[in-house]
Structure 1
Amino acid sequence: MRLPFTLLIDPVPADSQQQDFNGTFHEMDSSAPALRVGELSTQRGDGIFETLAVVNGHPQEIEPHISRLRNSALICELPVPNAEQWRAAIAYAVSRIPQRGEIALKFVLSRGVEHGPAPTAWLHASAAADFTAVRTKGVRVVTLDRGYPRGVAERAPWLLMGAKTLSYAVNMAAIREAHRRGADDTIFLTTDDFVMEGPTSSVVLRIDGGYVTPAPSGAILHGTTQQSMFDYLRARGFSVEYRDVALDELRRADAAWLVSSVRLAVSVVALDGDPFPADQALTDDLNAYLLARTA
């Protein structure tokens, strides 16, 4: 089967005892129209998604991605996805796409058509971009104010900051602003100068020999690939920690990485226009480990 590959899904309730989900999947011509005009995912971004990597036929971090999709559904008051159905859909899609190379598999759950009877769901597989350059040369990063103080997600849950929603306009605007400033990517800060995450990545720092990432919260997603990175580091005897990270700690860190499911780990080589220390040897080891996973 060639890429791109699209699979529409008829969502099954989370508490369903159904065993066979094959009849709920429908392969689609990826070049043909598939969404209706009234679809709220396109009109309002009213939906959630996850993107996992498939490397040489092996889907990565399935359970963390499904868990995060379910959490996003709860936050957004969408029907909670049936985990078994989504596992089956991912397995079916993986069986139908090329078994070599790096592929991005995005799965989406939308509220559907306004006043419609059911949500809309689909998987879409496409060839991953070639990230060789940034994996080996790193990225220049600027810090940008996210516009919220620390703790706002807990005080204002209607902002949906802990959900991975389709409303990515702000994230894309932040990356464009980074480009205007001569950088490649962004690290968001709270208004009181605490590190959050990148628009499409988790942030990991090395401080005094230990590895730190901002604590997952209502405003910061629990990174799936960041968790794999911490597994790798723990197995090699390094300390890892989730906690609040102040901006001055970022600036004095020994090294920093942006970590995401398809791009994997990339070193920060410049911060706000100034050179930043990078550990390319460790970055290479991390990416070799991440690419070699079979689950």
Structure 2
Amino acid sequence: MTQPLFLVDPTAARFELTDLAAAQLPVTDLSAHRGDGIFETVLVSMGEDGAVVVNRERHFTRFRGSASALELPEPDQELWDRVIDRLIAEVAADDPGIVEFGIRYAMSRGEQDEDGRFRPRGWAFPVPVDDHIRSARVHGVTAVSLDRGFDAYIGSKAPWLLIGAKTLSYAVNQAAGRYAAAHKADEALFVSHDGIVLEGPTANLIIRRGDRLLTPDPEAGLLSGTTQQLIFDHAQELGLTADYADLRLDDVKTADGAWFVSSMRTAVALSELDGNAIAVDEELTAKFQSIVRAG
């Protein structure tokens, strides 16, 4: 895959192509040492009719909501759409046979000038669908549950925790992944301190009980999932109902199927939680993956 990078000036509503491998970000940018910014990652599916940016509108709606939560300037959708389209064109020109890839786009608060003002900085670049992702789609994943450290539904009492915002502050998420790996699991599953199942570090959870799909309520303390919403949109076509619910660990362990869903992985079966085997529905997994790829 080619390594283009578009640097975005949200204030001037312009962007320029440069090299992802070259140094671009000043260390004084607040994203570099505070994680003070927002991002999204979209899956691009290439077909005979061109590129499909999966959940494009939902991702940007969340991007805009994250900006509002951090009190960043409202992103210009027309500008960011042009950035994404140009990036797709660059990747497709470099590799006409490419089937799918991701695009990560971000906006930082930027740097503070002598007068205390900030000038936001943005960027976008392609990310590959690597072998780890492809393997998880086929073979599923295992997980260990981890205490998230706060009670469910705390976000309404403590909006400064930015629970519903997709920020660049992912140190905790990365640490959870390393902890899971050290304990012989592929993923972590966050649980509130009072026992409500939340999400994975980079994925939402869906379970099936009979003909019902269930997922944790975003208000409980997790990021609202674009992929989860897309799958729920198609639940009726699959002969299923879909709803939000407060789930406990036993609900997941005894489910008729469980999945981690995210933009890049689409839907991967959760086959084991805390050493307990979970039923795997391979047919439904394949249907979920097809729904997501179709966008």
Q: What is the TM-score with the length of structure 1 in the denominator?
A: 0.91
Structure 1, gaps ≥5 residues long: 14-20
The residue aligned with 1:7 is: 6
Asked whether the equivalents of residues 214 and 243 of structure 1 are also in contact (C-alpha less than 8 Å), the reply is yes
Q: Percent identity over the alignment?
A: 38
SS in 2 for 1:118: strand
Equivalences, count: 283
- CA drift of 1:126 comes to 2.6
- CA drift of 1:179 comes to 0.9
CA distance 1:151–1:265, shift in 2 (3 Å): same
**More strand by proportion, 1 or 2?**
2
The residue aligned with 2:284 is: 282
Asked whether the equivalents of residues 112 and 119 of structure 2 are also in contact (C-alpha less than 8 Å), the reply is no
Counterpart CA distance in 1 for 2:120 and 2:210 is 48
The residue aligned with 1:217 is: 219
Counterpart CA distance in 2 for 1:218 and 1:107 is 27
Q: What is the TM-score with the length of structure 2 in the denominator?
A: 0.91
Asked whether the equivalents of residues 146 and 190 of structure 2 are also in contact (C-alpha less than 8 Å), the reply is yes
Asked whether the equivalents of residues 59 and 94 of structure 1 are also in contact (C-alpha less than 8 Å), the reply is no
SS in 1 for 2:152: coil
SS in 2 for 1:166: coil
In the alignment, structure 1 residue 192 sits paired with structure 2 residue 194: yes
SS in 2 for 1:112: strand
**Out of 51, 61, 68, which is 2:62 matched to?**
68
- CA drift of 1:260 comes to 0.3
- CA drift of 1:113 comes to 1.1
Counterpart CA distance in 1 for 2:193 and 2:226 is 26
Asked whether the equivalents of residues 103 and 125 of structure 1 are also in contact (C-alpha less than 8 Å), the reply is yes
The residue aligned with 1:113 is: 111
The residue aligned with 1:140 is: 142
**Out of 156, 168, 172, which is 2:158 matched to?**
156
Q: For residue 192 of structure 1, what is the amino acid of its counterpart? A: D
The residue aligned with 1:18 is: none
Counterpart CA distance in 1 for 2:192 and 2:284 is 29
Once the two structures are superposed, residues 229-281 of structure 1 have per-residue CA deviations (whole angstroms, 9 ceiling, x without a partner) of 11222222310001222233222211100000001100011110121111112
SS in 2 for 1:164: coil
**Out of 166, 170, 173, which is 2:172 matched to?**
170
The residue aligned with 1:36 is: 26
Asked whether the equivalents of residues 4 and 127 of structure 1 are also in contact (C-alpha less than 8 Å), the reply is no
Q: For residue 182 of structure 1, what is the amino acid of its counterpart? A: K
Counterpart CA distance in 2 for 1:133 and 1:142 is 19
The residue aligned with 2:130 is: 129
Counterpart CA distance in 1 for 2:187 and 2:27 is 33
SS in 2 for 1:240: strand
Once the two structures are superposed, residues 194-242 of structure 1 have per-residue CA deviations (whole angstroms, 9 ceiling, x without a partner) of 0111100010011232000111227222211111111222222310001
Counterpart CA distance in 1 for 2:172 and 2:23 is 27
CA distance 1:155–1:117, shift in 2 (3 Å): closer
Counterpart CA distance in 1 for 2:290 and 2:77 is 29
Counterpart CA distance in 2 for 1:265 and 1:152 is 28
Q: For residue 232 of structure 1, what is the amino acid of its counterpart? A: H
In the alignment, structure 1 residue 96 sits paired with structure 2 residue 107: no
The residue aligned with 1:51 is: 41
Once the two structures are superposed, residues 108-156 of structure 1 have per-residue CA deviations (whole angstroms, 9 ceiling, x without a partner) of 0100013354101011113221322211111011111000001211111
Counterpart CA distance in 1 for 2:178 and 2:288 is 28
RMSD: 1.6
SS in 2 for 1:111: strand
The residue aligned with 1:271 is: 273
Once the two structures are superposed, residues 2-43 of structure 1 have per-residue CA deviations (whole angstroms, 9 ceiling, x without a partner) of 522210111048xxxxxxx6xx11001111111112011111
**Out of 74, 81, 84, which is 1:80 matched to?**
74
**Out of 252, 260, 266, which is 2:262 matched to?**
260
